[in-house]
Structure 1
Amino acid sequence: MSLSIAASYLKAAVSQRRIGVMRSSLLGNGIRSLSTGATNVATEEHEPKFLKAVEQYFDRAAKYSDASEETLKHIKSTDSVLSVTFPVEKDGKTVMIRGYRSQHSRHRLPCKGGIRFSSAVDLQEVEALSALMTYKCAVVDVPFGGGKGGIMINPQEWTEAELERITRRFTLELCQKNFIGPGVDVPAPDVGTGAREMGWIADTYRNFNPQDVNGAACVTGKALSLGGVRGRTEATGLGVYYGIREFLAFPEVQERIKHHGKVEDTSVIIQGFGNVGYWASKFFESNGAKIIGIVEHDYAAYNLSGLNIEQLSLWRKEHGSFKGYPDAQILDNPMTLLEAECDVLIPAALERQIGLRNAHRVKAKLIGEAANGPVTPGADQVLRNNGKVIVPDLLLNAGGVCVSYFEWAKNLSHLRFGRMNKRWDERSKGQLLALVEGNAGRPLSEVERRQLIHGAEEHELVYSGLEDTMIVACNETRQTAIAKDIDYRTAALANSINKIAASLAGSGSIFTHA
């Protein structure tokens, strides 16, 4: 989208805001509460839907890639989409359930991507998310194609037994259509799903494929007792922390946003307090950042001195929301907190949260996209023109698929990480330490010895692998951005396109003429 078009949209938005019903009040520290009524809808009409937005980002990056026009067409297109409907009984009545699974690219197999339960699920959303998964896997060098699935239900309206029937029936549809399997398509948790649902999927697949010795690898994000990997639950949030930490350390980012470059004393606002938002806030808090705001769909909690994340989480679990939490200012118009002063804003909820309707009011210096597609193309340009740095979703929230890859590899090897080498490492370190102690003159305490010779546990190996993956991908993105003088989203996507194109070129085609 051109700057002139974006400017015209913003002009229209301002005009609409003057006409619309408004209420404003000071909430402290410059936060304003605004109710714009139909303004948001009117403004969003000018912006592309989610799938179109992903395609626009792709087209922008394609100009900086090395891929041919024909290869770009191949990469951009979705390979396969499955749409199913099936009946489920609820309260004595038959309800028709609709589900989708999209395999965007099979240049690498299996395809990989989550399954979400949401009443907002539709075919375009699933296709857009599967495309993002393709690019995400490529940018962090995870050897998967992109997939995504969803069932169009609100999980809050169904009992656990009903959700199990729905999940198992959907898995049956995937089995019958060859849309699931360790070497075909491997789902994972997403919005509205978790380890429980992944366990149901794995069990259903195993019952229909009892001869598949690698059947546990048909899905990731499972409980440890079912073959999951330690560190998977917090993986996406930890990856968000690693990614933002790396970008804050880049001198050009520090210069652009006038920041000291360290996580310590960095003010952070996070939208979404689900799995990703919770763990991201925990890792930032434990590394010295100040979490001044958490935004949920109904309320937001704000404290300029910093929130206690664990206390806030416990309050929400007990009371169902932030309402009444004593150690923060509770806002009943939560989206306004996206516009508050802070160093880092992390949208970790759903897509299209920052658009032309509000991008010009965002004051954060760096926006880290922990959710998929939280910033629209028009808003992306407005933010960058206003001097903001955007760390894109396909890079920043790749921690989940990275550790899903580790879990998949663990299931195929049938061996827990660290089982073969932990004791050997500890003995080797112990021998080296004894040699050093003999020449150092001071014997170490038992606690010091244990700390120095400790062999890595599975979660420590997972953390290490994830950190290395994120550091490499962040630096590759930075190098491309500097070399081509482009933004980080375009750079990350251009790198993805080049890697996918190389894979396609290397494999050739069965239709290639001799």
Structure 2
Amino acid sequence: MADDALQNMLAQMENAEPYIDIDPGVFERLKHPERTLKVSLPVEMDDGSVQVFEGYRCQFDSARGPYKGGIRYHPGVSMDEVTALSGWMTWKTALVDLPYGGAKGGVVCNPKEMSDREVERLTRRYTEGIRRMIGPDIDVPAPDINTDQQTMAWIMDTYSMYGGYVIPDVVTGKPIEVGGTAGRLEATGRGVAITTERMFEYLDRDLEDATVAVQGFGNVGSVTARLLSNMGATVVAVSDVSGGIYDPDGLDVMAVEQHVAKNATLDGYEAGVTRISNDELLRLDVDALIPAAIENVITEDVARETEASLVVEAANGPTTVAADEILLERDIPVVPDILANAGGVIVSYLEWVQNSQQYSWDLKQVNEDLEGRLTRAFDEMLDTYTARECPDLRTAAYAVALERVGHAHEMRGLFP
């Protein structure tokens, strides 16, 4: 699957090449990460035994600024996966015009089977392993799958201990108490909701009472579902690792959130719903399907059989290249991940700027800035889609992003 993600990312680049104006030699450079580090992480477990974990950090491109990208803890983490994800981060930061490059990191583990103390020791050891690669002006990590504000606080603390002073801008997505920003926790989901709303406007459809299915009910999926419900949409299905729930009349999203907060999963929620599988959710007849979990869930089979009218990619790389082609043939538009889920990195940028200035903005200012940047990027994608007669929105988004990164390389030249 990880290798598939990398091949998908490279294929998406190749699809966009005919629509961009950059030097072929520069385009070849864009297909290769600048560096990838693999680290061995011995950790003392609660029972006194020592377990050795594998960790990675891939820095894909820094032509436009410091590397930026999350850290995930998951059994499926691999070098190919972090390479693909770091590439997507590069195009994402360029598309929304942030002065960043792209990176990604991860540790092969299952934190759900570990105690909080074990996860903390693992985090601090991983930080020591990659600390020579990261820094406020070098590479700024953030949360991703199975990492959160607490994880970022441990990384910041460990890095600061080595530095001898508090260095809050080494990571983003921190708790507000140690330099985090208002709005960061909901930023990715808010961005998905904003781009979904904009897409409905572009298609001249009414979001009010539109039916929505969200695959993945973690931080991103739950926030997306709640905000779209607040906008008037009818969220008819959500799912997580335990499976999904479906109600054609609409779910009480707040009640579902409360259940998950108490029980950790959707399992056991029975308030007038039908239990469905994740696979069934992807095939529902809805106005908008929002994959918000992991990569490669919309396969060729799903693309042929889904009855959704629109796909909005809240997850990274949820649609395979082959599935993209089928969705295009079926006239089902896809809002690409590098735009739809960019809200998180936008607010991470705002957090980083606030830390560097030792200043802070309130929630209203942060959310207004988030919406403004996403709206500009959305409009640029649409303008490129129309002006260059791109086959789909993903190709248009890539054209904008690749040209920005490519032109930065052209202006900087090749050293030595």
Q: TM-score range by the shorter chain?
A: over 0.9
Matched with 1:109 is: 65
Q: Distance in 2 between matches of 1:218 and 1:295?
A: 34
Matched with 2:304 is: 360
Matched with 1:310 is: 254
Matched, 1:345 2:261: no
Matched residue type, 1:75? L
| Percent identity (aligned) | 36
Matched residue type, 1:204? T
Q: Distance in 1 between matches of 2:405 and 2:265?
A: 43
Aligned with 1:73 (options 28, 45, 64): 28
CA contact (8 A) 1:301 1:328 kept: no
CA contact (8 A) 2:294 2:317 kept: yes
Matched, 1:416 2:360: yes
CA contact (8 A) 1:298 1:332 kept: no
Residue by residue over 1:3-56, the C-alpha shift from the partner in whole angstroms, topping out at 9 and shown as x without a partner, is: xxxxxxxxxxxxxxxxxxxxxxxxxxxxxxxxxxxxxxxxx9xx9711011000
Q: Which has the larger radius of gyration?
A: 1
Q: 1:59 to 1:416 in 2, by over 3 A?
A: same
How many correspondences in the alignment?
414
Matched, 1:404 2:358: no
Q: 1:292 to 1:332 in 2, by over 3 A?
A: closer
Map 1:111-510; keep pairs closer than 5 Å. Answer: 111-175=67-131, 178-211=132-165, 215-250=167-202, 253-254=203-204, 261-417=205-361, 458-486=362-390, 487-510=392-415
CA contact (8 A) 1:240 1:397 kept: yes
Matched residue type, 2:269? Y
TM-score by length of 2: 0.97
Q: Distance in 1 between matches of 2:331 and 2:276?
A: 30
CA contact (8 A) 1:369 1:392 kept: yes
Gaps of 5+ in 2: none
Give the CA RMSD over aligned residues: 1.4
Q: Distance in 1 between matches of 2:223 and 2:267?
A: 21
The ranges of structure 1 where at least 4 consecutive aligned residues each deviate by more than 4 angstroms after the TM superposition are none
Matched with 1:16 is: none
Q: Distance in 2 between matches of 1:321 and 1:229?
A: 27
- Cα deviation for residue 506 of structure 1 reads 2.2
- Cα deviation for residue 322 of structure 1 reads 2.7
CA contact (8 A) 1:78 1:127 kept: yes
CA contact (8 A) 2:295 2:315 kept: yes
Residue by residue over 1:359-379, the C-alpha shift from the partner in whole angstroms, topping out at 9 and shown as x without a partner, is: 101111000000000000000
- Cα deviation for residue 237 of structure 1 reads 0.4
CA contact (8 A) 1:299 1:330 kept: no
- Cα deviation for residue 490 of structure 1 reads 0.3
- Cα deviation for residue 343 of structure 1 reads 0.2
Q: Distance in 2 between matches of 1:113 and 1:268?
A: 28
CA contact (8 A) 2:143 2:149 kept: yes
CA contact (8 A) 2:246 2:276 kept: no
Matched with 1:424 is: none
Q: Distance in 2 between matches of 1:158 and 1:323?
A: 21
- Cα deviation for residue 356 of structure 1 reads 1.4
Q: Distance in 1 between matches of 2:141 and 2:100?
A: 12
SS in 1 for 2:232: coil
Q: 1:48 to 1:87 in 2, by over 3 A?
A: closer
Matched residue type, 1:99? G
Matched with 1:9 is: none
Matched residue type, 1:364? A
Matched residue type, 1:508? G
